[in-house]
């Protein structure tokens, strides 16, 4: 055990985590040069394209240390980089004794550097600060070193200068890992206690869980129990991960490995759960287990109603390897049959949408996303509201609570004013302002999650001209004043466009939708009133005047075949219309409004 080191790499997005990890794999000859593909650890296509690590992975390498001639086993545990997956980050961190804190020398410390660092410090990890990309002309070595010193309270000599591009500093990093990160502790003779920090789905082998053994020994063929779910399975195969799986007969305390039990659905295995043996179970589960709950909900409908069953099929397949995706059937007068889906956050929603499109060729409409609310009615009954239609009549409601988050924003001092204005407009309160250096300031806000679900990130970027990074963690539910905003066309409500909004935002939001609809709806042979209403009260209105639509008008007489083609096109377009009372709404109008 003395020769094992378990560590992760934490960094803000794009600070070079994958590139540097690849250099470590190369240096230890874990991958031969010719096998080397850029970013070997990101093995999902989508990850590669988006340059984000969606699912964490673990990999083992051997380091032959020149100074003592001994061979060390390094387990590098990769952590996902985005806030939607912060629970997974925290479990990966809990499986390590040390962390390489990577900071891009041309960018300096950013929001995720700090949020991940806090997680690592919470778990008492030894931090090795690394100043990366020092090969770049724009590298600010002294300034960023000062930021790091201020942030973690280390000495200048503790910071390793590195470049994932040229390989500079890699030998120093190897030595720092051996010298500074403590070897794992734990008793191989004790009852088995292993922490699951990740799982992946494999179409042939089922669910593969990655774990770190804190105590005890795991053997192939053992009957194992997952403590929190209470399920029991046989360990069909256990082993360690290099570039591929290497099966072993046993693994002892301190080690990182994988287990295959024939489980076919990823929701059967929960990240954060403890594995023990049925024969000699451990007394306690490892702390910190949470059942991850979706935070953001939206309806997903097929573009073509005939594709409903295909959509169900696709969602079920996605769920096999994405345990955090939940869905149930939902019907809408406007959009037909579809599903109400729950996501960890907005990025998760986008990923699901994109995977539906790429992997299953499904074109879908997504309704306005909203968070989930806790509601208590006048009779004292409590329930959860996840869709606009679930919100009861205002006079029956005693109290509604909405989820809040704490956000870290790192920026330049000149943008403090505009960022404060934005966060206040989003109903936020400033809780902390800290200068990391005279040129860089950390702001913390408490904000309703509902407000950042929308356009927060884009707005933040534009008010700071790109000089702000942002990260957040959920904190608690707080009381709120929630209303249901309805959109009506000539008095008929359009359910797909209803939204749950804070009372203070209802009017502005209603105006925006009415205006957009006015642009998008084709004129018809009668006047159309577009209204936004809260309860019986209309709070915004637009009118579309009547017109006899003549699509052939622009054809200047003449060519009859062209005229016929246009008329046929119009007919085809009709089939994609939805009817509200007398008013016809093209499918595309929904798509465009929902993009708002």
> Does 183 engage in binding with ligand GTP (CB under 6 A)?
no
Instruction: Transcribe 357-383 into DSSP letters.
Output: HHHH---EEEPPPEE-EEEEETTS-EE
d(CA 422, CA 426): 6
Closer Cβ to ligand GTP, 17 or 348, answer by number:
17
> Does 169 engage in binding with ligand GTP (CB under 6 A)?
no
Contact 63, 28 (CB under 8 A): yes
Contact 233, 221 (CB under 8 A): no
Is 135 annotated as contributing to ligand binding? yes
Which residues on neighbouring strands pair with residue 440, listed in sequence order?
A: 437
Closer Cβ to ligand GTP, 44 or 285, answer by number:
44
Closer Cβ to ligand GTP, 164 or 206, answer by number:
164
> Does 348 engage in binding with ligand GTP (CB under 6 A)?
no
> Does 48 engage in binding with ligand GTP (CB under 6 A)?
no
CA triplet 582, 583, 584: central angle to 5 degrees? Answer: 120
> Does 133 engage in binding with ligand GTP (CB under 6 A)?
yes
Binding range to ligand GTP, per CB under 6 A, among 131-139, 376-384, 387-395, 486-494: 131-139
Torsional sign, CA 140, 141, 143, 147: positive
> Does 164 engage in binding with ligand GTP (CB under 6 A)?
yes
Is 16 annotated as contributing to ligand binding? yes
Exposed, middle or buried, 467 (CB in 10 Å: 0-12/13-18/19+)? middle
Closer Cβ to ligand GTP, 48 or 502, answer by number:
48
> Does 257 engage in binding with ligand GTP (CB under 6 A)?
no
Binding range to ligand GTP, per CB under 6 A, among 46-54, 285-293, 301-309, 436-444: 46-54
**b/e map of 346-363 (b: 16 or more CB within 10 Å)?**
bbbbebbbebbeeebebe
d(CA 290, CA 96): 19
d(CA 202, CA 184): 30
Q: Which of 4, 8, 10, 11 binds ligand GTP (CB under 6 A)?
A: 11
> Does 16 engage in binding with ligand GTP (CB under 6 A)?
yes
> Does 163 engage in binding with ligand GTP (CB under 6 A)?
yes
> Does 14 engage in binding with ligand GTP (CB under 6 A)?
yes
DSSP-derived letter for residue 192 is P
- CA 222 vs CA 228, 276, 578: distances in Å: 18, 10, 58
Which residues on neighbouring strands pair with residue 331, listed in sequence order?
A: 337
Instruction: With residue 237 as reference, give the H or E element that holds it.
Output: strand 237-241
Which residues on neighbouring strands pair with residue 450, listed in sequence order?
A: none
* Minimum gap (Å) between residue 347 Cβ and ligand GTP: 12
Is 67 annotated as contributing to ligand binding? no
Closer Cβ to ligand GTP, 26 or 222, answer by number:
26
> Does 110 engage in binding with ligand GTP (CB under 6 A)?
no
Binding range to ligand GTP, per CB under 6 A, among 157-165, 170-178, 324-332, 430-438: 157-165
Which residues on neighbouring strands pair with residue 4, listed in sequence order?
A: 73
Closer Cβ to ligand GTP, 468 or 499, answer by number:
468
CA triplet 338, 344, 350: central angle to 5 degrees? Answer: 60
Contacts (Cβ under 8 Å, ≥6 apart) of 198: 55, 56, 57, 58, 88, 91, 92, 209, 210, 271
Q: Restricting to residues 81-100, name those near ligand GTP by CB under 6 A.
A: 81
Q: Restricting to residues 263-292, name those near ligand GTP by CB under 6 A.
A: none
Is 14 annotated as contributing to ligand binding? yes
Count residues near ligand GTP (CB under 6 A).
Answer: 20
Is 6 annotated as contributing to ligand binding? no
> Does 132 engage in binding with ligand GTP (CB under 6 A)?
yes
- CA 515 vs CA 330, 508, 511, 530: distances in Å: 28, 11, 6, 9
> Does 15 engage in binding with ligand GTP (CB under 6 A)?
yes
> Does 534 engage in binding with ligand GTP (CB under 6 A)?
no
Closer Cβ to ligand GTP, 39 or 552, answer by number:
39
Q: Which of 6, 8, 18, 464 binds ligand GTP (CB under 6 A)?
A: 18
* Minimum gap (Å) between residue 134 Cβ and ligand GTP: 7
Contact 289, 273 (CB under 8 A): yes
Q: Which of 4, 52, 259, 334 binds ligand GTP (CB under 6 A)?
A: 52
Is 543 annotated as contributing to ligand binding? no
* Minimum gap (Å) between residue 17 Cβ and ligand GTP: 3
> Does 17 engage in binding with ligand GTP (CB under 6 A)?
yes
> Does 28 engage in binding with ligand GTP (CB under 6 A)?
no
> Does 51 engage in binding with ligand GTP (CB under 6 A)?
yes
Is 446 annotated as contributing to ligand binding? no
- CA 441 vs CA 130, 304, 424: distances in Å: 21, 49, 18
Contact 387, 340 (CB under 8 A): yes
Is 17 annotated as contributing to ligand binding? yes
d(CA 585, CA 579): 6
Q: Within a 13 Å sphere around the CA of 431, how many CA atoms are in the beta-carbon half?
A: 11
Binding range to ligand GTP, per CB under 6 A, among 143-151, 162-170, 216-224, 272-280: 162-170
Which two structure tokens, joined as six digits, stand for 199?
């799982």
d(CA 426, CA 420): 10
> Does 135 engage in binding with ligand GTP (CB under 6 A)?
yes
Which two structure tokens, joined as six digits, stand for 150?
């201020």
Binding range to ligand GTP, per CB under 6 A, among 27-35, 47-55, 222-230, 524-532: 47-55
Binding range to ligand GTP, per CB under 6 A, among 16-24, 149-157, 237-245, 273-281: 16-24
The residue count of the chain comes to: 596
d(CA 426, CA 13): 25
> Does 19 engage in binding with ligand GTP (CB under 6 A)?
yes
Binding range to ligand GTP, per CB under 6 A, among 12-20, 185-193, 418-426, 543-551: 12-20
Catalog residues that contact ligand GTP under the rule CB under 6 A. Answer: 11, 13-19, 39, 51-53, 81, 132-133, 135-136, 163-165
Binding site members for GTP: 14-19, 132-135
């Amino acid at each position: 055990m003395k020769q094992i080191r378990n560590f992760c790499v934490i960094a803000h997005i794009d600070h070079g985590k994958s590139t540097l990890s690849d250099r470590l794999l190369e240096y230890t000859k874990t991958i031969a040069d010719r096998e080397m593909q850029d970013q070997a650890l990101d093995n999902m296509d989508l990850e590669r394209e988006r340059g984000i690590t969606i699912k964490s992975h673990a990999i083992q390498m051997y380091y032959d240390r020149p100074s003592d001639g001994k061979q060390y086993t390094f387990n590098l545990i990769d952590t996902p980089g985005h806030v939607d997956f912060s629970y997974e980050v925290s479990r990966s961190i809990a499986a390590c004794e040390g962390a390489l804190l990577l900071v891009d020398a041309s960018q300096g410390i950013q929001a995720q550097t700090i949020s991940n660092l806090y997680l690592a410090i919470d778990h008492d990890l030894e931090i090795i600060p690394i100043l990366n990309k020092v090969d770049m002309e724009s590298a600010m070595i002294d300034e960023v070193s000062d930021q790091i010193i201020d942030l973690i309270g280390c000495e200048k000599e503790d910071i390793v200068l590195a470049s994932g591009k040229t390989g500079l500093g890699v030998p120093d990093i190897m030595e720092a890992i051996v010298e500074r990160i403590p070897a794992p502790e734990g008793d191989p003779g004790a009852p088995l206690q292993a922490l699951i920090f990740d799982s992946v789905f494999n179409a042939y082998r089922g669910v593969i869980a990655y774990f770190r053994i804190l105590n005890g020994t795991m053997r192939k063929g053992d009957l194992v129990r997952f403590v929190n779910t209470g399920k029991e399975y046989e360990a069909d195969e256990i082993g360690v991960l290099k570039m591929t799986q290497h099966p072993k007969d046993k693994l002892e305390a301190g080690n990182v490995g994988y287990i295959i039990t024939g489980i076919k659905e990823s929701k059967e295995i929960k990240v954060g759960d403890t594995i023990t043996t049925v024969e000699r179970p451990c007394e306690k589960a490892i702390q910190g287990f949470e059942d991850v709950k979706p935070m953001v909900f939206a309806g997903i409908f097929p573009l073509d109603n005939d594709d409903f069953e295909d959509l169900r099929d696709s969602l079920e397949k996605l769920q096999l390897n994405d345990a955090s995706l939940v869905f149930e059937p939902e019907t809408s007068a406007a959009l037909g049959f579809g599903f109400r889906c729950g996501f960890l956050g907005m990025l998760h929603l986008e990923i699901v949408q994109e995977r539906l499109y790429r992997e299953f060729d499904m074109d879908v409409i997504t309704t306005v996303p909203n968070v989930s609310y806790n509601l208590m009615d006048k009779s004292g009954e409590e329930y959860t509201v996840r869709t606009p239609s679930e919100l009861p009549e205002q006079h029956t409601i005693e109290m509604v609570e909405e989820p809040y988050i704490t956000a870290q924003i790192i920026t330049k001092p000149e943008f403090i004013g505009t960022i404060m204005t934005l966060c206040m407009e989003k109903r936020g309160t400033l809780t902390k302002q800290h200068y990391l250096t005279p040129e860089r300031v950390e702001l913390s806000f408490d904000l309703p999650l509902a407000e950042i679900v929308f356009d927060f990130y884009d707005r933040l970027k534009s008010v700071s001209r790109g000089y702000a990074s942002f990260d957040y963690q959920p904190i608690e539910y707080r009381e709120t004043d929630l209303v249901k905003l309805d959109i009506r066309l000539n008095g008929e409500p359009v359910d797909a466009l209803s939204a749950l909004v804070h009372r203070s935002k209802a009017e502005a939001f209603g105006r925006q939708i009415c205006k957009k609809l006015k642009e998008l709806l084709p004129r018809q042979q009668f006047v159309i009133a577009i209204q936004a209403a809260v309860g019986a009260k209309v709070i915004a209105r637009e009118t579309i005047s009547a017109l006899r639509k003549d699509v052939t008008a622009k054809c200047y007489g003449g060519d009859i075949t062209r005229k016929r083609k246009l008329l046929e096109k119009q007919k085809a377009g009709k089939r994609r219309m939805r009817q509200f009372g007398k008013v016809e709404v093209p499918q595309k109008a929904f798509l465009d409004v929902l993009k708002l």
